[in-house]
Amino acid sequence: MSDSTALELLKTKLRSIHHLHDAAALLSWDQETYMPTGGGAIRAEQLATLQTLAHDQFVSADTEALLIALLDTSSGAILPEQAASLDAASQALLRETWRDFSRAKKLPSTFVNELERECSLAQQVWVKARKTNDFQLFLPNLERLVELKRREADYLGFTDSPYNALLDTYEPGATVAQLKPLFHTLRTELVRLLDQIRQSPVHPQTSLMTQSYNTDQQVEFGRLVLTHMGYDFQRGRLDLSAHPFTTAFHPTDVRVTTRVFERDLPSCLFSCIHEGGHGLYDQGLPPSQYGTPLGESISLGIHESQSRLWENAVGRSREFWQYFYPKLQARFPEQLGSVPESEFYLAINRVSPSLIRVEADELTYNLHIMLRFEIELDVIEGRVMIDDLPDVWNAKMQDYLGIIPTSDADGVLQDVHWSLGAFGYFPTYTLGNLYAAMLFQQAKIDLPQLGQHMTEGNLLPLKNWLNDRVHRWGRQYSASDLIKQVTGMALTPEPFIDGLREKFGALYQLP
Amino acid sequence: MSDSTALELLKTKLRSIHHLHDAAALLSWDQETYMPTGGGAIRAEQLATLQTLAHDQFVSADTEALLIALLDTSSGAILPEQAASLDAASQALLRETWRDFSRAKKLPSTFVNELERECSLAQQVWVKARKTNDFQLFLPNLERLVELKRREADYLGFTDSPYNALLDTYEPGATVAQLKPLFHTLRTELVRLLDQIRQSPVHPQTSLMTQSYNTDQQVEFGRLVLTHMGYDFQRGRLDLSAHPFTTAFHPTDVRVTTRVFERDLPSCLFSCIHEGGHGLYDQGLPPSQYGTPLGESISLGIHESQSRLWENAVGRSREFWQYFYPKLQARFPEQLGSVPESEFYLAINRVSPSLIRVEADELTYNLHIMLRFEIELDVIEGRVMIDDLPDVWNAKMQDYLGIIPTSDADGVLQDVHWSLGAFGYFPTYTLGNLYAAMLFQQAKIDLPQLGQHMTEGNLLPLKNWLNDRVHRWGRQYSASDLIKQVTGMALTPEPFIDGLREKFGALYQLP
């Protein structure tokens, strides 16, 4: 078997496996958007079957035989006789495929099926538990999931902490040892800044955000912003769901969702921009590499950097609103006609500790993440009992943000992640914020007209820059290599902290 | 392996294979309802992969081993030592599974993949061809499909005509030899009745149907009727698509679609009722038999009998409108407020030869079917060239209905079926009409209050009767056995013809 034949056969195989992932993704998207409630139980089974099958096909002897023709299956090293004729992209494709294969191979098919089924059911129980503020209802599911995730870590293998095995699923290469000092530095700076803001004479008024805003008009405005961002509706959709998300079946079919409340203007607006950032990444992946790692996003951290860059660096900037605020006023003349842009800008950038992560401001958001990171680290390493989680949560909320949830629904039950078995996912949100700040700093250097363009509603130069620097590479580079390649620096919280200091220093008239 | 173990293992296997069909059905539903246009090409590949995989899993050595433990794989006869301990339902399950297995086994996996891919692409070409009235655009796809369907018939094997192999896919047991005389009788009677109607002094006015009707209100009215029919929205949805259809993933998730035009009141209304009839069948299948033949509908003819029974016997009856017409008037007071019920009733029952099958009246509809049956028989048996089809079509339209399409879009290109490779499907529509008339005749005997209930908008007794007599059996009986069991008669066109004579005799004051 010649190397190019083996590689082509491998790609074909990967593409057909990806079709199963696409189908599963559509089943999930449908579950969140249009599925009738009665369809929940069978949907869990359908998803479990598809995920198990995709897993089985991926770790099959067929796939392994193709890999053996190309690389050393003990080390993952590409065979010397093949390496010479493979370009850097193909070598990266093999490196990443090998990473996925060797991880997947460690998970028994029965385990994958059990985990998938449990997650799908747990998610439905979580929905009820959150709605009825009943942590006890969710407790047995959560206990089973934690047990399953510990087993997953054991199957995958790890050094130092089982949490590293889970973290590596979402953010390849990241470790507890790396995150702890990073988060420590960040926390110190954030708390310092938050204290300064607390003492500021400036008190943004947010009541203008909770007037009555027609929900159809809100969604239409979100659509307008997405169009300006370069999100392609010929290759995408915007729907409503309880929790906004983005899903992609292929660069030609990438879907974002939002949610909309009559008396909460920022919710729909910023979730559209946020998910639009994710959507641009998925629409910007190379179609020719569909199904292979080079057609996939690098990590959740890099994915989140795209959404946060658009949501915060763009969507909460003065330049952006210089163009869009008159358009928003025109849609809501009664509510905003007499509100000056400066007041609106202050309101969308208000810093104030709050209970719900997804509604948190740009600064305190990361404190929500650190709290979750510490809790799930303790859970996976077995230092806390699951039934103590509501108390642990509330104590940390008091410690980090100075407020205590009045209900578990607004506390430990607020996020869907754990019900999906997604332990190790939360830290990627903060990594996303840090990457976003680094990338945006570089974009401003590479695109000297960026600010000017934004004031004109021309967001395409930024989108094209991200397409070129980030999206089109798929997983050819690791997160750390990509960031170094684009910005010349290793991961650092400095640009993020500097950005906050600059913005809130001016906004809150800090010393 | 004990029989019950083998049977249970077989059922589990069938259920997991069905999950793949469910996923494929969702991909198709999504393609027709919400998929962005850009996603078409990859969707074709995804569908091909899923269908091929489902086929491969079904004909796998695993499935065969389970069957071998239960039946003689040369004849399909249940092993004597097993038969004693299996109830009638289990024996029927095995009989039908064997039928499916032995058919599927004859189709090579590469062929299934090729056919699925070609159909998915052809469908997209057909959409363009119809839109641009360009038969030549669709011609190469249609030629490839006919070639593939002939190969399929060869793989499956047949007696007398390759068309029988295709027909048997949709209507097990039906043959050209059975249909020809049946359709001949029917045609003679229909043409006679049509001639009488042509000479009638009664000329229903249909202009009231083409006034402006708010489309949202139309869909809401459709929803109201569906609710009265007992269609369960907790286990279903109503969406819009270019062509109305019903799809089911499980009895707990059955979806119907409709289409709506501002100036065509009957379109949305009757497609809702029609698809609702299909939907009730799928919601009425036994969930405990999901994935097995006992959880599936008998045939397309029986499926269509459900939709036509509701659409015509119920939805175009005086009794039905006695309850619903005031409600429709209340929604459209300007358009219908001064139109008496009798005039509306006449309008929805107007008989008039027309170009488009799906818009045809209850009587001429079957002439559209016979024309298609004859054409596709000639195509599959190789008596006509594909590029002659527009002329053949138009000549038959002249012969059967006395009118000639002014464009291929309204002629040979009007139906999606051939683009989906569905040759042998059309005759099931007429079979459905005949079955529907037989079933409704029996329902009136079994439910003496049926007419009275209908005038009160109480459609549940009929729905429950159909649940009990038809739906809950899945494929336990063949179509002919079921019809005999419920009505005491073999398939006959008499009740259908009698029904038309009675209705149109009164309506058109025929001699």
**CB atoms < 10 A from the CB of B254, how many?**
27
- Quick one: which of A351, A380, A359 has its CA closest to A510? A351
Residue ranges covered by each domain of chain B: 3-169, 176-507
Q: Which of A26, A36, A253 sits opposite B26 (nearest CB)?
A: A26
Conformational region of residue B379, where left means phi above 0, alpha means psi within -120 to 50, and beta covers everything else: alpha
Q: Do the Cβ atoms of B39 and A250 come within 8 Å?
A: yes
Cα(A224)–Cα(A258) distance, rounded to whole angstroms? 14
DSSP secondary structure code for residue A376 in this structure: H
Say if the Cβ atoms of A19 and B249 lie within 8 Å. no
Which residues of A make CB contacts under 8 Å with B? 15-16, 19-20, 22-24, 26-27, 30, 34-39, 41-43, 45-46, 49-50, 53, 232-237, 239, 249-250, 252-253, 255, 290
Q: Is B204 helix (H, G, I), strand (E, B) or coil?
A: coil
Query: Which stretches within A381-459 are classed as H helix?
Result: 389-401, 427-446, 450-455
Size of interface A-B (CB pairs under 8 A): 103
CB atoms near residue A307 (< 10 Å)? 26
Query: Which residues of chain A does B53 touch, with a Cβ-Cβ cutoff of 8 Å?
Result: 20, 53
Residue from the list A36, A43, A233 with its beta carbon closest to the beta carbon of B36: A233
Helices B88-105 and B3-33: crossing angle in degrees, nearest 10, is 60
Instruction: Give the pair of three-digit tokens for residue B248.
Output: 């089911």
Encoded tokens for B40: 């078409």
How far is it, in rounded angstroms, from Cα B437 to Cα A465? 66
On chain B, the residues whose CB falls within 8 A of the CB of A42 are 22, 249-250, 252-253, 290
**Interface mutation vs chain B, best among A15, A29, A42, A226, most B CBs within 10 Å:** A42
Closest partner CB to A38 (pick from B27, B50, B252): B252
B72 backbone φψ class: left, alpha, beta (φ>0; ψ -120 to 50): beta
β-strands B236-240, B253-258 pairing: parallel
Alpha-carbon distance B51 to nearest alpha carbon in chain A (angstroms): 11
Taking an 8 Å cut-off on Cβ atoms, the answer to whether A36 and B233 are in contact is yes
Inter-chain CB proximity B27 and A23 less than 8 Å: yes
State the smallest CA–CA distance between residue B453 and chain A in angstroms. 29
Q: How far is B339 from chain A (nearest CA, A)?
A: 36
Out of B36, B50, B53, name the one closest to residue A237 (CB).
B36
Q: Which three-class secondary structure state does DSSP give residue B487?
A: helix
Burial annotation A309-326 (CB, 10 A radius, 16+ → b, else e) = bbbbbbbbbbbbbbbbbe
Contact yes or no for B295/B249 (Cβ under 8 A): no
ipTM of the complex: 0.89
Residue type, B418: W
Judge: B38–A234 Cβ closer than 8 Å, yes or no: yes
Option in A19, A41, A232 nearest B46 (CB): A19
Measuring CA to CA, which residue among B414, B439, B193 is closest to residue B301? B439
Give the closest-approach CA distance of A220 to chain B in angstroms. Answer: 18
Judged by phi (left if over 0) then psi (alpha if -120 to 50, else beta), residue A394 lies in alpha
The tally of CA atoms less than 13 A away on the side-chain side of residue B171 is: 27
On chain A, the residues whose CB falls within 8 A of the CB of B232 are 38
Question: Residue A291: how many CB atoms within 10 A of its CB?
Answer: 21
Chain centroid to CA B320: how far? 23
Element at B248 (helix H, strand E):
strand B246-250
Residues in A touching B250 (Cβ below 8 Å): 39, 42
Please tell me the distance from the alpha carbon of residue B333 to that of residue B211, in angstroms, as a whole number.
12
From B46, which residue of chain A is nearest by alpha-carbon distance?
A19
Q: For A242-269, give one letter per residue: b (16+ CB within 10 A) or e.
A: eebbbbbbbbbbbbbbbbbeeebbbbbb
Q: For residue B240, list its beta bridge partners.
A: B258
Q: Report phi then psi at B383, rounded to 5.
A: -90, -15
* Mutation for B interface: A240, A246, A252, A289, most B CBs within 10 A: A252
User: How many Å apart are CA B368 and CA B361, to the nearest integer?
Assistant: 10
Is residue A19 within 8 A of residue A50, CB to CB? The reply is: no
> What does the DSSP 8-state code read for residue B77?
P
Under a CB-based contact definition with an 8 Å cutoff, are residues B297 and B431 in contact?
no
Total H helices, total E strands in chain B: 22, 3
C-alpha distances (whole Å) from A354 to each of A151, A239, A365 are: 35, 27, 9
If we measure between CA atoms, which residue out of B165, B11, B61 comes closest to residue B103? Answer: B165
Residues of chain A with pLDDT under 50: none
Q: Are A21 and A58 in contact (CB under 8 A)?
A: no
Say how far residue B215 (Cα) sits from the centre of its chain: 25
**In degrees rounded to 5, what are phi and psi of residue A332?**
-130, 65
Shortest Cα–Cα distance, B190 to chain A (Å):
42
Residues across chain A: 511
Taking contacts as CB-CB distances below 8 angstroms, the residues of chain A near B41 are: 252
Find chain B residues with C-beta within 8 A of A26's C-beta. Answer: 23, 26-27, 30
Q: What is the CATH number of domain B176-507?
A: 1.10.1370.30
Q: Which of B35, B120, B253, B290 to mutate to test the interface with A (most CBs of A within 10 A)?
A: B253
Provide the 8-state DSSP code for B311: I
Q: Nearest CA to A403 among A348, A346, A376, A364?
A: A364
DSSP conformation class of A309: I
The three-state secondary structure class of B138 is helix
Q: Measure A252 CA to nearest chain B CA, in Å.
A: 5
Q: Rounded distance, CA B437 to CA B498, Å? A: 9
- Residue B95 dihedral angles phi and psi, to the nearest 5°: -55, -45
The residue type found at A196 is: Q
Q: Which of A20, A41, A46 sits opposite B22 (nearest CB)?
A: A46
Q: How far apart are CA B425 and CA B301, in angstroms?
A: 9
Neighbour tally for A74: CB within 10 Å:
7
- Which of these, B30, B20, B28, lies nearest to B51 by C-alpha position? B20
Q: Of the candidates B23, B38, B53, which has its C-beta nearest A27's C-beta? A: B23
Q: Specify whether the CB–CB gap between B390 and B411 falls below 8 A.
A: yes
The arrangement of strands across the sheet holding B253-258 comes to B236-240, B253-258, B246-250
Interface of B with A (CB under 8 A): 15-16, 19-20, 22-24, 26-27, 30, 34-39, 41-43, 45-46, 49-50, 53, 232-237, 239, 249-250, 252-253, 255, 290
A264 beta partners: A261
Q: How far is CA B453 from CA B323, B358, B440, B459, in A?
A: 10, 29, 14, 7
Catalytic residues of B: 275
CB-CB neighbors (< 8 A) of B30 in chain A: 26, 30
Distance from CA of A460 to the nearest CA of B (A): 20
Q: Tell which residue, A493, A424, A503, has the closest CA to residue A188.
A: A493
- Nearest-Å Rg of the Cα atoms of chain A is 23
Residue A8: closest CA among A96, A70, A71, A53 = A70
Helix (H) or strand (E) holding A343: helix A341-348
Shortest Cα distance, chain B CAs vs residue A19, angstroms? 5
Question: Cβ–Cβ of A36/B236 closer than 8 Å?
Answer: yes
Identify which of A39, A250, A253 has the shortest CB distance to residue B249. A39
Mutation target vs B (from A12, A14, A16; most B CBs, 10 A cutoff): A16
The pTM of the full predicted model, rounded to 2 decimals, is 0.91
The alpha carbon of A21 is separated from its chain's Cα centroid by a whole number of angstroms, namely 18
Of B441, B376, B322, give the one whose Cα is nearest residue B142: B376
Query: How does pLDDT run along chain B (511 residues), one tens digit per residue?
Result: 555 689 999 999 999 999 999 999 999 999 989 999 899 889 989 998 999 999 999 999 999 999 999 999 888 999 998 888 899 999 999 999 999 999 999 999 899 889 988 988 898 899 999 999 999 999 999 999 999 999 999 999 999 999 999 999 999 999 999 999 999 999 999 999 999 999 999 999 889 999 999 999 999 999 999 999 999 999 999 999 988 999 999 999 999 999 999 999 999 999 999 999 999 999 999 999 999 999 999 999 999 999 999 999 999 999 999 999 999 999 999 999 999 999 999 999 999 999 999 889 999 999 999 999 999 999 999 999 999 999 999 999 999 999 999 999 999 999 999 999 999 999 999 999 999 999 999 999 999 999 999 999 999 999 999 999 999 999 999 999 999 999 999 999 999 999 999 999 999 999 8
Among residues A16, A109, A46, A119, which one has the least CA distance to residue B20?
A: A46
First CA to last CA across chain B, in angstroms?
69
Q: Which residues of A touch B32 (CB under 8 A)?
A: none
Shortest Cα distance, chain B CAs vs residue A257, angstroms: 13
Which has the closest alpha carbon to A297: A485, A103, A73, A476? A476
Strand partners, B246: B256
CB B419 within 8 A of CB B123: yes
Nearest Cα neighbor of A158 from A143, A147, A169, A148 is A169
Q: Pick the catalytic residue from A275, A296, A304, A311.
A: A275
Specify the length of chain B in residues.
511
For A344, residues 6+ apart whose C-beta sits below 8 A from its C-beta are A208, A321, A325, A328, A336
Spatial CA neighbour of A133 closest among A396, A413, A417: A413
Return all residues near B355 (Cβ < 8 A) that are at least 6 apart: B397, B403, B405, B410, B411, B414
